[in-house]
């Protein structure tokens, strides 16, 4: 049985009644069960139920007994704890932007968006103001699609990062996206990325984000 491996930023905090809550950022293990929309990952003798977008499910084509490595978002509520898993960082970043920066969007809706549109297709729909394209996702109405576009374009400012034809490196774009998912506005994220790259031109996206958070 494979041990539970938690990579990336893992925080430990005390919950009510003195219980310790470990925030899982990444989960590696064996696939015990796999159905569209959810995967049970076995690690350390424990089966972790992870909700995944259909995009992740299709990319991984998970089969029982295979090894798996997922980026995890852990959604904690007073009476429940739910895991959401993603094959790639960019999927998780879009998910976090939706639930943290767009009013009225929860994990289930964000998962539906990722399952209904590829990441690049969603980005271009936002850049082009294509509410019809986004509202084509099951469960997303026109008003919700318009709100997603308005808040990501105007309040977060994703267009400069997502628009095609940029001469910025993929690491720089990924780092900008990661910082925006963590609460930066686009201009703030770009300024932080440029500062890091000026001092460390060979830094990869993960290092850029880490150093950008230090200010």
Task: Report pLDDT digits (tens) over 114-123.
Answer: 999 988 899 8
User: What domains appear along the chain, each with residue ranges and CATH number?
Assistant: 12-86 (2.40.50.140), 96-161 (1.10.150.20), 165-214 (1.10.8.10)
* CA distance linking residue 63 with residue 66, whole number of Å: 6
In degrees and rounded to multiples of 5, residue 42 shows phi and psi of -90, 125
Residue range 54-112, pLDDT digits in tens? 989 998 999 999 999 999 999 888 777 899 999 998 899 899 989 988 999 999 999 99
- What's the mean pLDDT when you consider all of the chain? 83
Give the model's pLDDT for residue 142. 92
Backbone angles phi, psi at 53, to 5 degrees: -70, 155
Asked whether residue 37 carries a pLDDT value surpassing 70, the answer given is yes
Regarding pTM above 0.85, the answer is no
Is residue 132 predicted with pLDDT exceeding 90? yes
* Alpha helical stretches, state H, 53-185: 54-60, 89-101, 107-116, 119-127, 131-135, 142-150, 159-162, 170-181
Local structure of residue 76 (DSSP, 8 states): E
Confidence of residue 184 (pLDDT cuts 50, 70, 90): confident
42, pLDDT greater than 60: yes
The CB density around residue 151, as the number of other CB atoms within 10 Å, is 19
Looking at residue 5, the DSSP 8-state letter turns out to be B
Q: What is the C-alpha to C-alpha distance for residues 4 and 175, in angstroms, rounded to an integer?
A: 27
The DSSP line for 32-54 is EEEETTEEEEEETTEEEEEE--H
pLDDT at 3 over 60: no
Q: Which of 49-53, 143-147, 161-165, 191-195 has the lowest mean pLDDT?
A: 161-165
Percentage of the chain beyond pLDDT 90 is 40
**More reliable by pLDDT, 75 or 165:** 75
């Amino acid at each position: 049985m494979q041990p539970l491996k938690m990579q990336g930023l893992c925080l430990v905090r005390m919950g009510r009644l003195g219980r310790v809550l470990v925030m899982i950022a990444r989960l590696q293990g064996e696939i015990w069960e796999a159905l569209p929309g959810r995967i049970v990952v076995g690690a350390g003798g424990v089966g972790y139920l992870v909700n995944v977008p259909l995009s992740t499910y299709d990319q991984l084509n998970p089969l029982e007994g295979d090894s798996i490595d997922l980026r995890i978002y852990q959604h904690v509520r007073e009476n429940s704890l739910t895991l959401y898993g993603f094959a790639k960082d960019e999927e998780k970043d879009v998910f976090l932007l939706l639930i943290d920066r767009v009013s009225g969007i929860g994990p289930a809706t964000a998962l539906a968006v990722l399952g209904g549109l590829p990441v690049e297709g969603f980005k271009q729909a936002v850049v082009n103001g294509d509410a019809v394209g986004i509202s084509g996702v099951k469960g997303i109405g026109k008003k919700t699609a318009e709100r997603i576009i308005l808040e990501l374009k105007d309040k977060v400012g994703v267009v400069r990062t997502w628009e095609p034809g940029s001469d910025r490196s993929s690491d720089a774009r990924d780092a900008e996206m990661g910082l925006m998912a963590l609460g930066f506005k686009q201009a703030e994220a770009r300024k932080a990325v440029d500062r890091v790259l000026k001092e460390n031109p060979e830094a990869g996206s993960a290092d850029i984000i880490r150093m950008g958070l230090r200010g």
